[in-house]
Chain A
Amino acid sequence: MPEAGRKAKGNPVSGVEENGGGGLKGTGSGTVEGIGLPRKFESHGGNGSKEVPVRSVRRRELLSGNEAVARGAYAAGVRVACAYPGTPSTEILEELSRLPGVYCEWSPNEKVALEVGIGACLGGARTLVAMKHVGLNVAADPWMTLPYIGVNAGLVLVVADDPGMHSSQNEQDSRYYARMAGVPLLEPSDSLEAYRMVGAALELSERYDTPVLLRLETRVSHSRSVVEYDEERMEVDLPYRKDAAKRVMIPGHARLRHPVLLRRLEELAREAESFPFNRVEMRSDRVGIVTSGVCYHYVREAFPQASVLKLGFVHPLPERTVRDFASHFRRLYVVEELEPFLEESLKAMGLDVMGKARIPRDGELDPDRVGRCLAEIIEVDTGVKGGGWEKPELITVSLPGELPARPPVMCPGCPHRGLFYVLSRLKLVVSSDIGCYTLSVLPPIEGIDCQVCMGAGVGMALGLEKAFSGSRVNADLRGRVVGALGDSTFIHGGITGLIDMVYNRTPCTIIILDNRTTAMTGFQDHPGTGRTLMGESTHALDLEALCRAIGVDSVRVVDPWDLKATEEVLREEVGSDRTSVVISRRACTLMTRSRPAVFRVVDEECTGCRRCLRLGCPAIVLRGDKAWVDEDLCAGCSMCAQLCRPGALREVGDLD
Chain B
Amino acid sequence: MTDVILAGVGGQGNVLSARILAETAMRAGYSVKTSEVHGMAQRGGSVVCMVRWEREVYSPLIPRGRADFLLAYELLEGLRFLEYLRPGGTVLVNEYRLDPLPVLRGDAAYPEESLELLREAAGNCVVLRARDLATEAGSTRAVGTVMLGALSAFLEFPDNAWEESLRERVPPKALEANLRAFVLGRKAAGERSGR
Q: Could you list which residues of chain A lie within 8 angstroms of chain B, going by C-beta atoms? A: 14-15, 22-24, 26-29, 31-32, 35-49, 60, 62, 64, 87-88, 90-91, 166-167, 190, 219, 222-226, 294, 296-298, 300-302, 366-368, 371, 392-395, 397, 399-400, 403-411, 436, 439, 442-444, 520-522, 613, 616, 618, 620-622, 632
Tell me which of B63, B107, B186 contacts A301 (CB under 8 A): B63
Q: A14-B168, A36-B183, A87-B40 are in contact. Are A29 and B82 (CB under 8 A)?
A: no
- Which of the listed residues B65, B180, B182 has the most CB atoms from chain A within 10 Å of its own CB? B65
- Which of the listed residues A49, A367, A621 has the most CB atoms from chain B within 10 Å of its own CB? A367
Bound form: Cα–Cα A482–B90 in Å: 52
Whether A622 lies near B160 (C-beta < 8 A) is no
Whether A397 lies near B160 (C-beta < 8 A) is no
Whether B183 lies near A404 (C-beta < 8 A) is no
Q: Inside 8 A of B55's CB, which chain A residues have their CB?
A: 47-48
A-B contacts, 13 of them at CB < 8 A, read A15-B23, A29-B160, A47-B29, A90-B38, A190-B60, A224-B19, A366-B61, A392-B66, A399-B111, A400-B117, A408-B10, A444-B105, A621-B99
Whether A622 lies near B106 (C-beta < 8 A) is yes
Number of interface residues of B (CB under 8 A): 79
Q: Inside 8 A of B41's CB, which chain A residues have their CB?
A: 166-167, 408
Across the two chains, which residue of chain A brings its CB closest to B77? A406
B31 CB within 8 Å of chain A: yes
Whether A35 lies near B36 (C-beta < 8 A) is no
Whether B45 lies near A400 (C-beta < 8 A) is no
B174 CB within 8 Å of chain A: no
Min CB–CB distance A372 → chain B (angstroms): 10
Q: A301-B63, A442-B101 are in contact. Are A395 and B36 (CB under 8 A)?
A: no
By Cβ-Cβ distance, the 7 closest A-B pairs, closest first, are A46-B29, A167-B39, A87-B39, A408-B45, A392-B65, A223-B60, A404-B108
Min CB–CB distance B192 → chain A (angstroms): 16
Tell me which of B39, B65, B76, B168 contacts A403 (CB under 8 A): B76
Bound form: Cα–Cα A294–B58 in Å: 9
Whether B60 lies near A219 (C-beta < 8 A) is yes
Given contacts A60-B26, A87-B39, 13 further A-B contacts (CB under 8 A): A14-B168, A37-B186, A40-B159, A48-B29, A302-B63, A366-B63, A393-B65, A395-B85, A400-B117, A406-B44, A409-B45, A520-B40, A613-B104
Per-position binary interface string of chain B over residues 93-104, scored 1 when its CB falls under 8 Å from any chain A CB and 0 otherwise: 000000111111
Q: Inside 8 A of B34's CB, which chain A residues have their CB?
A: 62, 223-225
Bound form: Cα–Cα A14–B180 in Å: 23
Bound form: Cα–Cα A378–B6 in Å: 34
Whether A409 lies near B108 (C-beta < 8 A) is no
Whether A41 lies near B102 (C-beta < 8 A) is no
Q: Inside 8 A of A296's CB, which chain B residues have their CB?
A: 58
Q: Inside 8 A of A620's CB, which chain B residues have their CB?
A: 104
Q: A24-B161, A439-B43 are in contact. Are A404 and B30 (CB under 8 A)?
A: no
Whether B43 lies near A298 (C-beta < 8 A) is no
Across the two chains, which residue of chain B brings its CB closest to A443? B105
- Which of the listed residues A296, A366, A443, A621 has the most CB atoms from chain B within 10 Å of its own CB? A366
Whether B111 lies near A298 (C-beta < 8 A) is no
Min CB–CB distance A599 → chain B (angstroms): 16
Bound form: Cα–Cα A43–B100 in Å: 44
Bound form: Cα–Cα A167–B156 in Å: 36
Q: Inside 8 A of A622's CB, which chain B residues have their CB?
A: 104, 106
Tell me which of A14, A44, A393 contacts B87 (CB under 8 A): A393
Q: Inside 8 A of B76's CB, which chain A residues have their CB?
A: 403-404, 406
Whether A404 lies near B103 (C-beta < 8 A) is yes
Whether A24 lies near B27 (C-beta < 8 A) is yes
Q: Inside 8 A of A26's CB, which chain B residues have their CB?
A: 160
Count of inter-chain pairs, beta carbons less than 8 A: 235
B3-60 CB contacts (< 8 Å) to partner A: 9-10, 19, 22-23, 26-46, 55, 57-60
Whether B158 lies near A41 (C-beta < 8 A) is yes
Whether B158 lies near A225 (C-beta < 8 A) is no
Q: Inside 8 A of B121's CB, which chain A residues have their CB?
A: 395, 397
Bound form: Cα–Cα A397–B45 in Å: 24
Q: Inside 8 A of B40's CB, which chain A residues have their CB?
A: 87, 166-167, 408, 520
Q: Inside 8 A of A39's CB, which chain B residues have their CB?
A: 159
Per-position binary interface string of chain B over residues 103-120, scored 1 when its CB falls under 8 Å from any chain A CB and 0 otherwise: 111111111010001001
Q: Inside 8 A of A41's CB, which chain B residues have their CB?
A: 156-159
Q: Inside 8 A of B19's CB, which chain A residues have their CB?
A: 62, 224
Q: A393-B86, A404-B103 are in contact. Are A48 and B30 (CB under 8 A)?
A: yes
B151 CB within 8 Å of chain A: no
Q: Inside 8 A of A15's CB, which chain B residues have their CB?
A: 23, 168
Across the two chains, which residue of chain B brings its CB closest to A410? B43
B83 CB within 8 Å of chain A: yes
Q: Inside 8 A of B182's CB, which chain A residues have their CB?
A: 37
Q: Inside 8 A of A31's CB, which chain B residues have their CB?
A: 163
Across the two chains, which residue of chain B brings its CB closest to A366? B61
Bound form: Cα–Cα A443–B180 in Å: 41
Q: Inside 8 A of A395's CB, which chain B residues have their CB?
A: 65, 82-83, 85-87, 89, 121
Whether A406 lies near B9 (C-beta < 8 A) is yes
Bound form: Cα–Cα A515–B2 in Å: 43
Q: Inside 8 A of A35's CB, which chain B residues have their CB?
A: 163, 179-180, 183
Bound form: Cα–Cα A442–B26 in Å: 41
Q: Inside 8 A of A408's CB, which chain B residues have their CB?
A: 10, 40-45
Across the two chains, which residue of chain B brings its CB closest to A36? B183
Whether B31 lies near A48 (C-beta < 8 A) is yes
- Which of the listed residues A167, A394, A406 has the most CB atoms from chain B within 10 Å of its own CB? A406
Q: Inside 8 A of B158's CB, which chain A residues have their CB?
A: 24, 41-44
Q: Inside 8 A of B80's CB, which chain A residues have their CB?
A: 403, 406
Min CB–CB distance A432 → chain B (angstroms): 15
